[in-house]
Amino acid sequence: MADLRREVIRQGVEPLRPTLDRYVEIVAEVDDHTAELPEVEVDFAVVMGGDGSILRTARQMGYRQLPVLGVNLGRLGFLADVPPDQLEQVLQQVVAGDYEVVSHLMFQCQVHRDGKQLHELLGLNEVAVLAGKPFAMLEVQLFVDAELVTTYSCDGLIVSTPVGSTAHSLSAGGPILRKNLQAFVISPISPHTLTNRPVVDSADRVYELVAAEPHEGTSLVVDGKVICTLTSPDRIRIERSQAQFQLIEVPDHGYYRTLREKLGWGGRLSWNQ
């Protein structure tokens, strides 16, 4: 699976095709993340691109999640963490059965207005309410299992899965969670009160967000995609999905190695004298 409409992806895929042909039988090719997946029996999917490609693939699979091997043709690649030059080695391990499939939390996000459901979405990374124009402070209420937790005065609020904890939530000061933990992280963006800190809670709870006085441009964003502009009656509901994203991991490509290499942990600062 790859978005071949993008020139950089197409150029990255072409030299890898002979390696794929040597180790696996390709029964279907998908080059459009908006298309219906073919009804074929497969053991796993190879997704070539960046983490955005992985997110779109997870959404495209819906409730028929397949094990995914992610090949990084993008930048950081927390999910698509197999470098092209290691694809042959990794495929050898997969074909030999030397791998494991790790399940990752996905969520259902619903938008309700005046008792009616406007949107329902499946996601892997995060739900974000962003203040938008006129770029003033926004108040967002957080409810957990229908109990009011607090009202954040902030530029936005992120509810993230462990997979998403290394994305927007991390840049907002949120913690990194191991990808297979069953929990959500709530991270305010630039909170006005210094005592507001990210919160980690169980994935078995139901989370609701309400912006009682949204701005003109206050928006709901799911996995980087703008879903709608919010109005005062809107209530956003987030809960665990029955679907679980399945990621193939091979030895020597563990979680902490990925973090260490992608985030540059252990490196030393240097500067020109």
Residues annotated as catalytic are 51
Structure tokens at 246: 């399945």
At 23 the three-state DSSP class reads helix
Considering Cα of 10, then 2, then 4, then 258, what sign does the dihedral take? negative
H-run or E-run covering 256:
helix 255-263
Structure tokens at 19: 């390696």
For 64-114, the DSSP string reads: S--EEEEEE-SSS-SSS-B-GGGHHHHHHHHHTT--EEEEEEEEEEEEEET
Q: Position of tokens 């009011």? A: 148
Structure tokens at 216: 């003109």
